[in-house]
A and B are shown apart, each in its own frame.
Chain A
Amino acid sequence: MSTDLGAQVAGIKEDYKYGFRESDANYNYKSGKGLNRHTVEEISEMKNEPQWMREFRLKGLETFQQKPLPQWGGNLNDLDFQDIHYFVRATDRQGKSWDDVPAEIKRTFDKLGIPEAEKKFLAGVGAQYESEVVYHSLREDLAAKGVIFTDMDSALRDYPDLVKEYFGTVIPINDNKFAALNSAVWSGGSFVYIPAGVKVDIPLQAYFRINAENMGQFERTLIIVEEGAQVHYVEGCTAPIYTSESLHSAVVEIIVKKGGRCRYTTIQNWANNIYNLVTKRAVAHEDALMEWVDGNLGSRLTMKYPAVYMVGKGARAEILSIAFAGKGQHQDAGGKVVHAAPYTTSRIISKSISKHGGRSSYRGLLKVADGAYGSKSNVVCDALILDPQSRSDTYPYIEIDEDDVKIGHEASVSKIGEEQLFYLRSRGLSEAEAATLIVNGFIEPLVKELPMEYAVEMNKLIELQMEGSVG
């Protein structure tokens, strides 16, 4: 990622500030609370979907109902599946009032300098905003190359064959309870198709394709990178996203074909009432490179382990994960790599920070299948614990079925070094400033991988999170 790219993106954002306009779409629908066959059929009906998708959803529902809640990871006992709206049209967000948004979220918006209209959108009380003006030229340029970048519902309508060919192939319905739930009630998300040999040199950002559907609770994203193609997709934004619903459960499926490259960057900053239970998985074919850059700052509980299945010789996987768990938060995050072909390489770097009684857990799987000879993997997890009330866990599963492989794993947990603090304070920094600086240094490997305006916001956010953490 070069800096002028970042500058370009930052520039777009400047315009973007004034690009908001209220959508005149005024369709209105809200499903009742709770989940049953009727809800699912109704969603499918509302969206006027083909029969196969309706059946897919119903199978999802059936699987969801059969599977027990996972007994590992975070505490899911307070989650009431019958107390959730499974389908809300964008315009309904208007029904809520800005006054309902918690003061601390508003404060964070102000500190990050987020424009008024955008604030309301992020808080889920604004109407649907689209940055058509900014985005239009971008889209034309991409379309000329055959790139498809649209929302999942439109894709199902406009590219039914492509969707049908790949949908649910990377993450099957029965993969886990929450993937099954998403299969039943998904709505929105992105569909990205990059034709062979096309290199998209600016990050595709769901953030710009702003569209309330995309911010949904059960979005479904599918990215197909054809042979030799390249893309960087950016999901979410650093600003906190507030919604009164308590569950976010997305599915992201990615296929990277021979020699292709895909990077998927997420900064998750849900408000602290949200259960964020997300399944993300990529399949990397021969010589393909898949990179997940995954930052988790918000939510009450996040359980998310971006995965790469390397099925072609020479495929590569990189997972960079960062978690910051503050008061009342549990970040159960990590990564999964499966070496299913020879000479595949993977690297997982995880950084986590716990403070104010927060708990961050690294949970990962490194699996090398029989026959994946010549594979190499390295997993490094570092954790910082900032006060005695906080907690850090590391659960790195390693399963090796092949002898000709090189595997390394390291993890460390520590507090901020007294010496580092002393040094910085002797240079005139306050203890809080020094601690923030050290934490910023700690997560620097992640931040430097972000597009520039994200990096700037990320640093600000860490400063906010660190406020009052020392002393």
Chain B
Amino acid sequence: MSTAVASSHAIASLEFGEFLNSVPNEPAWLTEKRRAAFESFAATPWPTSRDEEWRRTDIRAFRLNAFDLVHSPAAATLEDLDEIAPARDALASAYGTGIVQIGGQTTQPADLIKLGKATLTDFRTFAESNPEILEKYLFGTVGTSEDALAALHAAMFRGGIVLYVPKGVKVADPLYALSAMTARQRIDTSHTLIVLEDGAEATLVHDLVSTASGESATPGLHLGAVEIVVGKDANLKYVRIQNWDDQTWHFSRERATVDAGGSIQWTIGGLGSRLSKVNQETALAGPKASAQVNGVMFTTGKQHLAYFTRQDHQAENTTSDLLYKGGLTGKSRTVWKGMIRVEPGAQKTDAYQKNDSLILTQSARADSIPGLEIEANDVRCTHGATAGPVDPEMVFYAEARGIPAETAKRLIVEGFFANVYDRISVEPVRESLRLAVAKKLSLG
């Protein structure tokens, strides 16, 4: 590695010391975790195209030193609040209660009465009120040393969202969380932790939104992680829709473990950002755990979205079902690489993964890399991948019935995504995804 490249991605230990001063009152164990992760970051080379996960995803244009991770961001202004108001109102009108953050700092807390026995709060508040629970779960699911970015997040994440549902508590109404960036707040390094104890139930709709856009906007950065722990017989629906502006770099490591009899329905929307690199993983750790994973991607312009998914079957009688669908226009590109892994002894696994890509323009490109690693024999594992353009015969058919080509195309795109929408059981999410895709299609 040349020093020029190194220096633009290096953070001096002096600066890290300054960072620690900017997150005061954190428990000692957390500071220790941060220090260890920082050492790992300093020792890990910056990813290059020679690394398998980065072979198709070029981040040479990304400059870490263009972002100040060291100092606390300025407090949100009225302007910032105005900017994110439409996104907040949309969520507030559809769901029970929720938390709103700008750049990882809370601007609106959740309604405690509506939450009941569940906790939905920001990272700092939770660290003060439930330090033992935080210590038990933080970085227990997501790794801190997979690559330089994972280590950097663990060392220098700032703020975040915690949803904690104690044993047996069932939260009836869907909750929401809004992680926003604005024209002035361009950094979000927040950490998301979701813990459902045994028998708990909850639904969380999490939108990642920024309002700045266009070439004139300054670059944005989300360097995040999501950790999900689903206890025995617990039941979580988590929807995470990433809709950053097209100047934002999105790096996120996300992993859930589901214990015996538990289930997760995890829906991912990949709509925004200049470039995304996401690892979305689900581990089925106890017998009869199950996961349904849904992905909706729609890219325009020069966007590049790379999603790496894993379905880790670690126990008997576990089920996973993954469906990722992507629509591409302009010169955009998507990369999906999926892996079903069945550990020895995870008999009676039933696992499925499928990725379909609809390529709407000549210059768009979709890479689809399914994979299976199976070390048990009594299993049923299948995967499939398809890619193709809008069938001209379908457009012709529609036109022959007086439907303009553009409308026909929109209907066909909607039809393409219909079977993934149908799987999402959180009603308003289907509609907002459908609208977001339609909007991107008309602009794209």
A interface with B by C-beta (< 8 Å): 72, 370, 383, 385-415
Q: Is B365 an interface residue when CB atoms closer than 8 A count as contact?
A: yes
24 intermolecular pairs with C-beta atoms under 8 Å apart = A370-B362, A385-B376, A385-B377, A394-B372, A395-B369, A396-B385, A398-B387, A399-B367, A400-B357, A400-B359, A403-B363, A403-B364, A404-B389, A405-B387, A405-B388, A405-B389, A407-B385, A409-B384, A410-B384, A411-B370, A411-B372, A412-B380, A414-B380, A415-B377
- Selected contact of A407 from candidates B360, B378, B388, CB within 8 Å: B388
Contact A394 B389 (CB under 8 A): no
Q: How far is the CA of A97 from the CA of B388 in the complex (A)?
A: 59
**Chain B residues with a Cβ closer than 8 Å to the other chain, count:** 36
User: Which residues on the B side are within 8 Å of A383 (C-beta)?
Assistant: 372, 374
User: Which residues on the B side are within 8 Å of A414 (C-beta)?
Assistant: 379-381
Q: How far is the CA of A455 from the CA of B52 in the complex (A)?
A: 40
Q: Is B375 an interface residue when CB atoms closer than 8 A count as contact?
A: yes
Interface centre among B367, B372, B378 (most CB of A within 10 A): B372
- Selected contact of B370 from candidates A370, A387, A396, A405, CB within 8 Å: A396
Q: How far is the CA of A389 from the CA of B373 in the complex (A)?
A: 13
Contact B374 A403 (CB under 8 A): no
Q: Is B347 an interface residue when CB atoms closer than 8 A count as contact?
A: yes
User: Which residues on the B side are within 8 Å of A393 (C-beta)?
Assistant: 371-374
Interface centre among B345, B363, B365 (most CB of A within 10 A): B365
B124 to chain A, nearest CB (A): 42
Closest to A373 in B: B362
Q: How far is the CA of A72 from the CA of B51 in the complex (A)?
A: 12
Contact B386 A407 (CB under 8 A): yes
- Selected contact of A388 from candidates B373, B376, B386, B389, CB within 8 Å: B376
Closest to A395 in B: B371
Task: Bits for B154-185, please: 1 = Cβ < 8 Å to A, else 0.
Answer: 00000000000000000000000000000000
Q: Is B218 an interface residue when CB atoms closer than 8 A count as contact?
A: no
User: Which residues on the A side are within 8 Å of B361 (C-beta)?
Assistant: 403
A402 to chain B, nearest CB (A): 7
Q: How far is the CA of A386 from the CA of B359 in the complex (A)?
A: 39
User: Which residues on the A side are within 8 Å of B365 (C-beta)?
Assistant: 399-401
Contact B382 A385 (CB under 8 A): no
Q: Is B344 an interface residue when CB atoms closer than 8 A count as contact?
A: yes
Q: How far is the CA of A390 from the CA of B377 in the complex (A)?
A: 7
Interface centre among A391, A398, A399, A414 (most CB of B within 10 A): A398
User: Which residues on the B side are within 8 Å of A409 (C-beta)?
Assistant: 368, 370, 383-386
- Selected contact of A415 from candidates B52, B364, B378, CB within 8 Å: B378
Q: How far is the CA of A406 from the CA of B366 in the complex (A)?
A: 12
Known: A388-B344, A390-B377, A411-B382. A398 touches B367 (CB 8 A): yes
B57 to chain A, nearest CB (A): 13
Closest to A384 in B: B377
Closest to A406 in B: B388
Closest to A407 in B: B387
User: Which residues on the A side are within 8 Å of B383 (C-beta)?
Assistant: 394, 409-411
User: Which residues on the A side are within 8 Å of B366 (C-beta)?
Assistant: 400
Task: Bits for B258-283, please: 1 = Cβ < 8 Å to A, else 0.
Answer: 00000000000000000000000000
A352 to chain B, nearest CB (A): 11
Interface residues of B in 374-418 (CB under 8 A from A): 374-389
Closest to A394 in B: B372
- Selected contact of A398 from candidates B359, B368, B374, CB within 8 Å: B368
Contact B370 A402 (CB under 8 A): no
User: Which residues on the B side are within 8 Å of A410 (C-beta)?
Assistant: 382-384
User: Which residues on the B side are within 8 Å of A401 (C-beta)?
Assistant: 365
B444 to chain A, nearest CB (A): 14
Interface centre among B363, B371, B379 (most CB of A within 10 A): B371
User: Which residues on the B side are within 8 Å of A406 (C-beta)?
Assistant: 388
User: Which residues on the A side are within 8 Å of B52 (C-beta)?
Assistant: 72
Q: How far is the CA of A166 from the CA of B368 in the complex (A)?
A: 34
- Selected contact of B377 from candidates A387, A395, A403, A407, CB within 8 Å: A387
B406 to chain A, nearest CB (A): 17
User: Which residues on the B side are within 8 Å of A72 (C-beta)?
Assistant: 52
Contact A412 B382 (CB under 8 A): yes
Closest to B365 in A: A401
A76 to chain B, nearest CB (A): 17
Closest to B390 in A: A403
User: Which residues on the A side are within 8 Å of B347 (C-beta)?
Assistant: 388
B389 to chain A, nearest CB (A): 5
User: Which residues on the B side are within 8 Å of A397 (C-beta)?
Assistant: 367, 369
Q: How far is the CA of A398 from the CA of B369 in the complex (A)?
A: 6
User: Which residues on the A side are within 8 Å of B371 (C-beta)?
Assistant: 393-396
Contact A388 B378 (CB under 8 A): yes
Q: How far is the CA of A401 from the CA of B359 in the complex (A)?
A: 10
User: Which residues on the A side are within 8 Å of B359 (C-beta)?
Assistant: 400, 403
The 9 closest A-B pairs by CB, nearest first: A385-B377, A394-B372, A403-B359, A412-B382, A409-B385, A407-B387, A413-B381, A398-B368, A391-B375
Q: How far is the CA of A468 from the CA of B311 in the complex (A)?
A: 33
Interface centre among A390, A404, A407 (most CB of B within 10 A): A407
User: Which residues on the B side are within 8 Å of A388 (C-beta)?
Assistant: 344-345, 347, 376-378
Interface centre among A405, A409, A415 (most CB of B within 10 A): A409
User: Which residues on the B side are within 8 Å of A394 (C-beta)?
Assistant: 370-372, 383
User: Which residues on the B side are within 8 Å of A390 (C-beta)?
Assistant: 375, 377
- Selected contact of B387 from candidates A389, A396, A400, CB within 8 Å: A400
- Selected contact of B372 from candidates A387, A400, A404, A413, CB within 8 Å: A413
- Selected contact of A392 from candidates B367, B374, B378, CB within 8 Å: B374
Contact B386 A408 (CB under 8 A): yes
Closest to B360 in A: A403
User: Which residues on the A side are within 8 Å of B369 (C-beta)?
Assistant: 395-398
User: Which residues on the B side are within 8 Å of A392 (C-beta)?
Assistant: 372, 374
A416 to chain B, nearest CB (A): 9
User: Which residues on the B side are within 8 Å of A402 (C-beta)?
Assistant: 362
- Selected contact of B382 from candidates A395, A396, A404, A413, CB within 8 Å: A413
- Selected contact of A403 from candidates B344, B362, B367, B370, CB within 8 Å: B362
B219 to chain A, nearest CB (A): 28
User: Which residues on the A side are within 8 Å of B377 (C-beta)?
Assistant: 385-388, 390, 415
User: Which residues on the B side are within 8 Å of A395 (C-beta)?
Assistant: 369, 371
Q: How far is the CA of A383 from the CA of B374 in the complex (A)?
A: 10
Contact B374 A413 (CB under 8 A): yes
Interface centre among A409, A410, A411, A413 (most CB of B within 10 A): A413
Q: How far is the CA of A63 from the CA of B372 in the complex (A)?
A: 33
Closest to A392 in B: B374
B277 to chain A, nearest CB (A): 18
Closest to B372 in A: A394
User: Which residues on the A side are within 8 Å of B388 (C-beta)?
Assistant: 405-407
B314 to chain A, nearest CB (A): 15
A400 to chain B, nearest CB (A): 5
Q: How far is the CA of A171 from the CA of B85 in the complex (A)?
A: 60
Q: How far is the CA of A404 from the CA of B389 in the complex (A)?
A: 5
User: Which residues on the A side are within 8 Å of B376 (C-beta)?
Assistant: 385, 388
Known: A409-B370, A411-B370. 20 other contacts (CB 8 A): A387-B377, A393-B373, A393-B374, A394-B370, A395-B369, A396-B369, A398-B385, A399-B365, A400-B366, A400-B367, A401-B365, A405-B387, A405-B388, A407-B388, A408-B384, A409-B384, A410-B382, A410-B384, A411-B383, A412-B380
